[in-house]
Amino acid sequence: MAKSPGNDVFFMPLTELNQRLHSKEFSAVELTKAYCDRLEKLGPAYNALAHSLRKSALSHAKDVDREIKRGRLRGPLQGVPCGVKDLLDVAVAPCTWGAKPFATQKPDEDATVIKKLKNAGAILTGKLSMVELAGGGGYRYAAASLQGPGLNPWDKSRWSGGSSSGPGSAVAAGLVGFAIGSETWGSILTPSAFCGVTGLRPTYGYVSRNGAMALSWTMDKIGPMARSAADCGHILQAISGGDVDDPGSAGKSFFYGPQYQKPISEMRFGFAPSDLDRVADEESRKVFASALEVLRSLGAKMVETELPDFPYNAVASTIIGAEGSSVFEPLIADGRIDQLADQRQIAGLKAGLEIPAKDYLKAMRIRSLVQQSLAKLFSDVDVLISPSRFSVASGLNEPLDRSSLTSLKTHQRGLRDLGAAGNLAGLPALSLPCGFAGGLPLGMQLVSRPWTENSILLIGTEFQNRTDWHKRKPAID
């Protein structure tokens, strides 16, 4: 080979890594070894690494090198090192779900997503940390994790976000080429926004959850966190598809083809000016306003809108609380739940078992109305735009139930509950890095109709063609 990979490879988009492998600038083994070294050295410094998979990764890399030599090319993920949240089964490693009671749990086979990544030629170098049980029951402090609080590469006194804390830190610090996270209510978009990376929450049912820890059967989703919107599109194509082993599978496959979408100039972007009144500080407000102007410059029609009036947060909390406590009922019953790190989470999971069936069913009925109302809203707009989170990453010791919103200057609902609403309706969302406040990243989210990921990926790519926020790199210790 011409040379071993240098430090610049750690922040390259996956398409460029793949191209350099094909041009023989370095081998898959050399690239994998460099990433494994970096992940093992720096992963613990950010509490991001749950398990290194060096041995199996290097073995797979040798296979990839042989394939490339023979001209057997599998696509843009081939030879790219990646990590996955530690709620996905990998047969050669423990699957701890971020929690002490499951620290020695070992699966017998790979999750469907892992099989699809391997089939695409991606090289799994590590399992990444997460908030215990993906936050089931609710938690008050960032330390609710087997590896400790996820540390933000932009400022290690700040949180990387939950519950996909490890993937957020690892992608931001260049420890993996990309990562797979999961979201039930914000767990891809939050760490993506806090860590300054691009994250995609797919439409519910696009990606199989077979072999993944369940938190909420009707709301769990698995998706990519990466360097760019384009990277996310390539990854979703590789991991999507029907699966008879997942009852929630939609039986659909995603094809990444933003070029086949209608032009942005023919789209309608829904936004709420009142959202900016809820941003915690003036510097952040200016960042979001500037990002909105970049999106406006893409030529779409801007439409002022707001969410229909529903108790989104209460409905999402009831559904996740009831389903999550049902999932973990054996843990609660045998007392192992008391081994969790966060007292509020212990209490929350126990309380979830007491949610009456009538309250759960009422929440599900309201959820149906939410889905109907949002479908009607999307008859007037193609995409909804709002901050991914209304503030920068919180401090490690700050209680997470403290509101980051200012006192409201308006009675308008705006889009402030888009996180809960979008997850209740199973809608796709893309979080884009859009600037910094106080040296910490901020993110803007794009939300669209089910199965329209290509539209938000097209917009995201055009936004990233006009900005360089997604190319910014933290100073790594």
Catalytic positions, written as ranges: 85, 163, 187
Give the C-alpha separation, 216 to 322, whole Å: 8
Q: Which residues contact 24 (CB under 8 A, 6 or more apart)?
A: 1, 2
Alpha helices for 312-428 (secondary structure H): 312-327, 329-333, 343-352, 357-377, 418-424
**Which residue's structure tokens are 């109709």?**
449
Helix axes 453-466, 282-296, angle to 10 degrees: 110
What is the token pair recorded at 406? 């200012």
Rounded distance between C-alpha atoms, residue 267 and residue 252, angstroms: 25
d(CA 135, CA 145): 9
Burial class (CB in 10 A: 0-12, 13-18, 19+), 234: buried
How many Å apart are CA 188 and CA 291, to the nearest integer?
Answer: 20
CA distances from 383 to 282, 302, 359, 430 (A): 26, 10, 32, 11
3-state class of 29 per DSSP?
helix
d(CA 321, CA 276): 30
- Residue 214, token pair as written in the block: 């369940």
| CB within 8 Å of 253: residues ≥ 6 apart | 237, 240, 241, 242
Total Cβ atoms within 10 A of residue 410: 12
Helix (H) and strand (E) counts in the chain: 14, 13
Q: Which two tokens stand for residue 231?
A: 């990277």
Tell me the β-bridge partners of 387: 444
Residue 452: closest CA among 311, 301, 258, 268? 258
Cα separation, 302 vs 287, in Å, equals 18
The residue with tokens 């949002």 is 374
SS3 (DSSP) at 340: coil
DSSP class of residue 88 equals B
Going from the C-alpha of 252 to that of each of 202, 210, 245, the distances in angstroms are 12, 15, 14
Residues 170, 231: Cα–Cα separation, whole Å:
16
Return the SS3 of 194. helix
